[in-house]
Amino acid sequence: MVTKPVIVGRSSSHFTRVARIFAAELNVDCDFRVVQNLMASDPSDYGGNPALKMPTLLTSQGAWFGALPICRELARQSSLRPRIVWPEDLDTPLLSNAQELTLQAMATGVALTLGKVSGVPEENAHRIKMQQSLLGTMAWLDMHVAELSRALPVDRDFSFLEVTLFCAVTHFEFRAVVAISSYPALKAFAESFSVRPSASATNYRFDP
Ligand SMILES: N[C@@H](CCC(=O)N[C@@H](CS)C(=O)NCC(=O)O)C(=O)O
């Protein structure tokens, strides 16, 4: 029987960091269980996720797969009631596309990083296409990020969009997936978000 919730993931994973930032913002005390081997093919290594992905949140109710469902469950468990902007609240093309592109960039970043470590050649056509996809997405986000903060509700405490964008940008810098210096507006956004205690408490590092 699980009493205290457990986040299963890695300190170097951007989707895991999204869940950890939400836990910190919502003041939900969670244990952290490290996925030891990224190449493991047993779902139990990922908190039971048959898709072999992290994060997973283990609660007394059961296991929750994926960053967004985990963040929603953390919000339900929290005694705090902050004004959170969720993806379904993003009712303009600008905000909706920014969320879609941020999540797609995160997924593409995972595929590129895993392709690199597992020896996919640089000249592989799909790897080249994914790099193009990521560069185009980063350029779009860099062009629009300043508008996002103005377009989001002013009374928000935080949004899933900003948390995911922060985790994506800082992860790409941490893993040298793209040169963040080429995206000054995204860099400035990440710097301003990084002052939050939830951000500094979840800095990327490689688990031993
Ligand atoms: N849809 C999942 C995606 C999670 C995901 O891709 N996580 C990465 C780590 S950031 C992962 O599990 N990578 C291991 C792998 O793909 O084998 C979510 O939203 O949490």
pLDDT tens string 139-176: 999 999 999 999 999 999 999 999 999 999 999 999 99
Q: What confidence tens digit (pLDDT) does each residue in 58-78 have?
A: 999 999 999 999 999 999 999
Q: Is residue 201 part of a domain?
A: no
- Largest Cα separation within the chain, whole Å, is 51
SS3 content of the chain, % helix, strand, coil (to 5): 55, 10, 35
Q: Is residue 205 part of a domain?
A: no
CA 23 to ligand 1 centroid distance, Å: 18
Q: Are residues 89 and 187 in the same domain?
A: yes
Which of 37, 60, 82 is the last residue before a domain boundary? 82
Q: Is-contact 31 4, C-beta < 8 A?
A: yes
Which of 66, 82, 98 is the last residue before a domain boundary? 82
Q: Are residues 184 and 94 in the same domain?
A: yes
pLDDT at 4: 96
Q: Are residues 191 and 89 in the same domain?
A: yes
CA 7 to ligand 1 centroid distance, Å: 13
Q: What is the CATH number of the domain that holds 15?
A: 3.40.30.10
pLDDT at 160: 98
| 114, pLDDT greater than 70 | yes
Q: Are residues 71 and 156 in the same domain?
A: no
| 2, pLDDT greater than 70 | no
Per the prediction, the chain carries an average pLDDT of 97
Q: How far apart, in Å, are the Cα atoms of 187 and each of 4, 85, 128, 192, 204?
A: 35, 22, 24, 9, 16
Tokens read off for 207: 């688990």
As a whole-number percent, the residues of the chain with pLDDT over 70 amount to 99
Q: Are residues 155 and 186 in the same domain?
A: yes
CA 50 to ligand 1 centroid distance, Å: 12
Q: Are residues 69 and 35 in the same domain?
A: yes
Range of the domain at 14: 6-82
Residue 136: how many CA atoms within 13 Å on its side-chain side? 9
| Residue nearest (by alpha carbon) to ligand 1 atom 14 | 53
Q: Are residues 50 and 113 in the same domain?
A: no
Tokens read off for 121: 């050649």
Q: What is the CATH number of the domain that holds 113?
A: 1.20.1050.10
Q: How far apart are CA 36 and CA 15, in angstroms?
A: 16
Q: Is the CB of 9 under 6 A from ligand 1?
A: no
If one counts the domains in the chain, the total is: 2
Q: Is the CB of 114 under 6 A from ligand 1?
A: yes
Q: Are residues 132 and 167 in the same domain?
A: yes
As a whole-number percent, the residues of the chain with pLDDT over 90 amount to 98
Q: Are residues 54 and 91 in the same domain?
A: no
**Axis-axis angle for helices 125-151, 160-174 (nearest 10):** 140
Q: Is the CB of 106 under 6 A from ligand 1?
A: no
| 1, pLDDT greater than 80 | no
CA 15 to ligand 1 centroid distance, Å: 6
pLDDT at 95: 98
Q: Are residues 25 and 127 in the same domain?
A: no
pLDDT at 3: 84
Q: Is residue 99 part of a domain?
A: yes
Q: Are residues 44 and 91 in the same domain?
A: no
